[in-house]
């Protein structure tokens, strides 16, 4: 059974009608699901805003997944932005950046066990030549004076270093370590008496709040979401019972990117039943180009195209664009960041991606040198010239 939406004409209201039909597959896109927190993660709140009153406001952050650690940073770091914090901290620390990149690579390849990561961070922090002390001092200056935060550990983790063996992102693990070293967070690992998990957790929260004078409204709980509950709300009981066991066997999703650049933009004949022509293929493998990137690049490309036209004239055949390196999955890709500008009628829109070693621009990118095709001989056929150029 389902719901069909129709419109009689453009601008008219949608008419919903129920109908019944058989499907080969039903896709339930339930999203991330709802969390049970008093301050839902996907809703606006004021954790990052400065306090207007006197004194210091103490927060209890319960949980240590990626969501809770982002909230912890917002509570403790002034002007925290997840997309900018690494650039702000590492702009003058190339050696530290290199060592952390090496650590992350070893972790991804299985050469470093997750439960060894904390000790590796400690080794870097103890090395005076690593650049960590500079990061710690800089982060200490960025700490908010109007807040303090207690991080409540899960009963399943017996020490602070156990957090670093979990599946949270490498970036957040390092930020937590640096914040701890800068005196920005108080880990709390005491456990309540042995009762049911929910009662035990609440008892521990009450104990922490009493010890540090934390108000109930200043408790930030991030205990994860349960997408299966969203599925349960959509399906009837019989349908849910049929898929419940399968949901339990799916396991945790990998954080690795398992697709290549532009994969989600490619049209499939299996879905459309239409053979793609050349004009369709030219628009394939498109990835998003930030407007700011396009704006800067387009000014430069237009200037180059205008200069070439002043030399060659409008009867010449040329086109100009700019490419950037784009990391999607394990491999680098090249992406066209502006439409072609010039006198040529040959098409090619912004956003297109292709392998790093593809074409003339790929040859230039790999060798880090200017690359150009040889000049065509007067007696040479176009097909032979094109075939020879593609073998470069």
Same domain? 8 vs 141: no
Q: Which domain holds residue 70?
A: 57-221
349 DSSP β-pair partners: none
**Which residues, including other chains, have CB under 8 Å from residue 360's CB and lie 6 or more apart?**
371, 372, 373, 389, 392
pLDDT score for 179: 95
Residues 197 and 233 in one domain: no
Give, in order, the Cα–Cα distances in Å from 105 to each of 102, 112, 170, 252, 384.
Answer: 5, 9, 10, 21, 45
Q: Is residue 295 included in any domain, yes or no?
A: yes
My answer on whether 22 and 125 are in the same domain is no
Q: Is residue 113 a part of any domain in this protein? A: yes
Exposure class string for 127-140: b at 16+ Cβ within 10 A, else e: eeebbbeebbebbe
Give the residue from 64, 55, 63 showing the smallest Cα distance to 147: 55
Asked if residue 90 and residue 22 are part of one domain, the reply reads: no
Q: Is residue 78 part of a domain?
A: yes
Residues 6+ apart with CB under 8 A from 89: 135, 138, 139, 178
Asked if 231 and 298 sit in the same domain, the reply is: no
Has residue 52 got a pLDDT over 50?
yes
Residue 1 has pLDDT above 60, yes or no: no
Mean pLDDT of the chain: 82
Report if residue 316 sits inside a domain: yes
Residues 239 and 338 in one domain: no
Indicate if 17 and 82 belong to the same structural domain: no
What are the DSSP E strand ranges found in 134-256?
Answer: 147-152, 186-188, 219-221
Q: Does 386 reside within a domain?
A: no
pLDDT value at 108 more than 80: yes
Q: Are residues 203 and 317 in the same domain?
A: no
Report the pLDDT value the prediction gives residue 135, as an integer from 0 to 100: 92
Tell whether 152 and 237 lie within a shared domain. no
Kindly report the number of other CB atoms within 10 A of residue 250's CB atom.
8
Does 274 reside within a domain?
A: no
Secondary-structure percent of the chain, ordered helix, strand, coil, rounded to 5: 40, 15, 45
Per-residue pLDDT tens digits for 329-338: 878 899 999 9
95 and 205 inside one domain: yes
Asked if residue 349 is part of any domain, the answer here is yes
Q: Could you tell me which residues come within 8 angstroms of residue 311 by beta carbon, excluding any fewer than 6 positions away?
A: none
Residue-level pLDDT at 126: 94
Measured CA to CA, the distance from residue 222 to residue 141 in angstroms comes to 27
User: What's the pLDDT score for residue 256?
Assistant: 73
Considering the domain architecture, whether residues 205 and 61 belong to the same structural domain is answered as yes
State CA 363 to chain mean position distance: 29
Q: What is the pLDDT of residue 9?
A: 54
Give 174's pLDDT tier (boundaries 50, 70, 90): very high
Instruction: Look at residue 384 in the predicted model and tell me its pLDDT.
Output: 79
94 lies in some domain: yes
Sheet strands (E) in 128-235: 147-152, 186-188, 219-221
Report the pLDDT value the prediction gives residue 199, as an integer from 0 to 100: 65
Proportion of the chain above pLDDT 70, given as a percent: 84
Residue-wise pLDDT tens digits, 238-265? 888 888 877 776 656 666 778 888 887 7
Residues 70 and 11 in one domain: no
pLDDT computed for residue 191 by the predictor: 58
358-376: per-residue pLDDT in tens? 888 888 888 889 888 778 7
- Please determine, for residue 290, whether its predicted confidence score (pLDDT) is greater than 60: yes
Q: How many domains does the chain have?
A: 3
Q: Which of 68-77, 78-87, 93-102 has the lowest mean pLDDT?
A: 78-87
Whether the predicted pLDDT of 120 surpasses 90: yes
pLDDT of residue 130: 92
């Amino acid at each position: 059974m389902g719901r069909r939406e129709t419109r009689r004409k453009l601008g008219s209201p949608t008419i919903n009608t129920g109908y019944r039909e058989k499907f080969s597959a039903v896709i339930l896109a339930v999203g991330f699901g709802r969390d049970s927190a008093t301050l839902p993660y996907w809703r606006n709140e004021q954790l990052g805003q400065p306090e207007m009153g006197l004194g210091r406001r103490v927060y209890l952050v319960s949980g240590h997944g990626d969501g809770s650690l982002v909230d912890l940073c917002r509570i403790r770091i002034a002007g925290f932005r997840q997309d900018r914090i690494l650039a702000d901290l590492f702009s003058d620390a190339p050696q530290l950046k290199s060592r952390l990149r090496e650590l992350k690579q070893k972790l991804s390849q299985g050469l470093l066990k997750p439960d060894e990561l904390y000790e590796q961070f400690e080794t870097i922090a103890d090395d005076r030549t690593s650049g960590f002390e500079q990061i710690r001092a800089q982060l200490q200056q960025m700490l908010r004076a109007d807040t303090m935060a207690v991080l409540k550990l899960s009963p399943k983790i017996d020490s602070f270093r156990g957090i670093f063996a979990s599946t949270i992102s490498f970036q957040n693990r390092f930020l937590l370590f640096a914040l701890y070293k800068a005196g920005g967070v108080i880990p709390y690992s005491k456990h309540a008496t042995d009762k049911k998990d929910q009662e035990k957790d609440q008892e521990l929260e009450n104990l922490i709040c009493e010890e540090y004078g934390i108000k109930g409204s200043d408790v930030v709980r991030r205990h994860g979401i349960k997408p299966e509950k969203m599925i349960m709300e959509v399906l009837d009981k019989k349908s849910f019972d049929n898929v419940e066991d399968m949901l339990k066997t799916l396991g945790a999703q990998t954080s690795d990117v398992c697709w290549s650049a532009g994969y989600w933009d490619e049209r499939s004949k299996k879905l459309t039943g239409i053979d793609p022509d050349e004009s369709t293929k030219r628009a394939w493998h498109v990835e998003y180009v930030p407007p700011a990137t396009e704006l800067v690049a387009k000014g430069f490309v237009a200037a180059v195209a205008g200069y070439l036209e002043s030399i060659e004239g409008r009867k010449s055949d040329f086109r100009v664009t700019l490419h950037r390196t784009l990391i999607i999955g394990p491999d680098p890709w090249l992406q066209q960041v502006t439409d072609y500008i010039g006198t040529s009628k040959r098409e090619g829109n912004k956003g297109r991606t292709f392998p790093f070693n593809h074409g003339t621009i790929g040859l230039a990118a790999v060798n880090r040198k200017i690359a150009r095709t040889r000049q065509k001989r007067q007696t040479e056929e176009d097909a032979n010239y094109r075939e020879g150029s593609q073998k470069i």
